[in-house]
Homo-oligomer: A and B are copies of this chain.
Amino acid sequence: MKAVPMVEFWRGGLLESLHHGHAVVCDATGAIVEAWGDADAVIFPRSSCKMLQALPLVESGAADALGVGPSRLALSCASHQAAAVHTDLVTRWLGDLGLGDDDLRCGPQMPRDAEAMKEVLCKGESPCRIHNNCSGKHSGFLTLTRHLRAGPDYHLVDHPVQVAVRQAFEEVTGVASPGYGIDGCSAPNFATTVHGLARAMAFYAAAGDRSDTRSRAAARLVAAMTAFPELVAGEGRACTNLMRAMGGKVAVKTGAEAVFVAILPEQRMGIALKILDGAERASEAAIVALLIRLDALDPGHPVVKRYLTGPLTNYAGLAVGERRIAPGFAD
């Protein structure tokens, strides 16, 4: 089945642009509660699966053995914007391992945080690997590498860290990964289906009901994400704003190319969506619509205006357009 219309952009009373996508809401048994588009569409989760990539870090005992507490666990699931709060924590984490910027295998990235970017730019400096939005995830990989006494190239697909990530990823998604791509941070990103990604999110949502090692690890990662929403992304970012708006009851995570997932412990449900064209503006609007539909987000909360119902303004501040959920999707 094809992707279906999900998010419309209107201007002057006319439809200007349209985004199609796939979305699945899954329960704790792995069954589909609702789906739009093709639940079996193969996607790259990109950064939306960082809590899966962090699972071996916790379930192996590496996190406990090397003093990785909740804030560092949140950073290991983060696509941070390299504000001082993020880079300071990563620097300390690497320092505790006796490591530094050169030990990271992600490339350097200009900070997305306005103040941090201004500092790098105006000092005429170049961004470091620590500024990479994935540097927390990579610090987690380095922590597991140390625990496993493995080699320094933890980003290679046959390295023990990535072998463990792939196994955990395939087990919680319930899908043998059809392949992998190299992500923006140079780590392997394993492909799965939209259903598989939603199933994994539902596994995390219901993890608190179970006492096995993996479930306890998953529950700790969810608790870390919801306890430190500002570390998972940063001030002004959708993941941070949405987790705050839901009072820490729901964990959400975005991924490049317009993937968005949500973990809803109260409902014991997981959501995964992919906008076919990769537009973040549409994945943000779509996840907001689904969170409202599942009674996880108050439709009257200001973040709903910001990502879905509020006017689109131009450089002069005039309201020039609006977003609408396409008929038939989450309406």
Contact = CB atoms under 8 A, between A and B. Distances in A.
Interface of A: 9, 11-14, 16-20, 42-44, 105-109, 118, 121-122, 132, 178-186, 189, 191, 257-258, 276-279, 282, 314-318, 320-321
B257 A17 contact: yes
Given A11-B44, A179-B13, A277-B282, A184 B314 contact: yes
A16 B320 contact: no
A315 B185 CA distance: 6
A46 to B, nearest CB: 9
A9 B186 CA distance: 18
B132 A315 contact: yes
A182 B13 contact: no
A121 B121 CA distance: 9
For A181, A184, A315, the residue with the greatest tally of chain B CB atoms inside 10 Å of its CB is A315
A235 to B, nearest CB: 18
Contacts of A317: 107
Nearest to A9: B278
A138 to B, nearest CB: 11
Max chain B Cβ within 10 angstroms of own Cβ: one of A118, A183, A316: A316
A210 to B, nearest CB: 32
Contact of A12 (B14, B106, B191, B278): B191
A157 to B, nearest CB: 10
Given A11-B182, A16-B44, A121-B122, 12 more contacts: A11-B181, A14-B44, A14-B179, A17-B277, A18-B277, A20-B277, A107-B317, A108-B315, A122-B122, A184-B314, A184-B320, A186-B316
Contact of A16 (B20, B43, B132): B43
B122 A276 contact: no
B121 A16 contact: no
Contacts of A132: 315
Nearest to A317: B107
The 6 closest A-B pairs by CB, nearest first: A12-B181, A107-B316, A107-B315, A11-B181, A17-B278, A122-B122
A225 to B, nearest CB: 23
A78 to B, nearest CB: 16
A9 B44 CA distance: 12
7 contacts: A12-B180, A13-B181, A14-B44, A14-B178, A107-B314, A183-B320, A185-B316
A110 to B, nearest CB: 9
Contacts of A18: 276-277
A12 B178 CA distance: 10
Contacts of A181: 11-14, 16, 320-321
Contacts of A17: 257-258, 276-278
Contacts of A9: 257, 278
Contacts of A109: 315
Contact of A315 (B184, B258, B276, B321): B184
Contacts of A122: 118, 121-122
Contacts of A20: 20, 277
Contacts of A184: 314-315, 320
